[in-house]
């Protein structure tokens, strides 16, 4: 399963590692996604949510 935010859909992005001699290799920028117990469609579920959505109160946490 991919680590992807269920609220906004944010997932891994790709880019380049650039060394001091400017050799370029591919790398992966992973989103800061946390496993959260949230209320989805009326029932509590364990889902992955990015910290940006958590900070913006876009997710309702289950008790």
The total of structural domains in the chain comes to: 1
Residues of the chain above pLDDT 90, percent: 94
Q: How do the residues of the chain divide into helix, strand and coil, expressed in percent and rounded to 5? A: 10, 45, 45
What is the per-residue pLDDT for 59?
Answer: 94
Torsion sign (Cα): 54, 40, 14, 27: positive
> Dmax over Cα atoms in the chain, in whole Å?
54
Q: Is the pTM of the predicted complex or chain greater than 0.95? A: no
Residues of the chain above pLDDT 70, percent: 98
Q: Residue 28's domain spans which residues?
A: 1-63
Number of H helices, E strands in the chain: 1, 4
Which residues fall within 8 angstroms of residue 2, CB to CB, at 6 or more apart?
A: 11, 12
**Model confidence at 1: pLDDT above 60:** no
The domain spanning residue 48 has which CATH number? 2.30.170.40
């Amino acid at each position: 399963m991919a680590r992807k935010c269920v609220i906004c859909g944010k997932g891994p992005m790709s880019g380049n590692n650039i060394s001091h001699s400017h050799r370029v290799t591919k790398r992966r920028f992973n989103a800061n996604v946390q496993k959260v117990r949230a209320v989805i469609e009326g029932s509590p579920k364990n889902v992955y949510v990015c910290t940006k959505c958590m900070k913006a109160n876009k997710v309702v946490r289950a008790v």
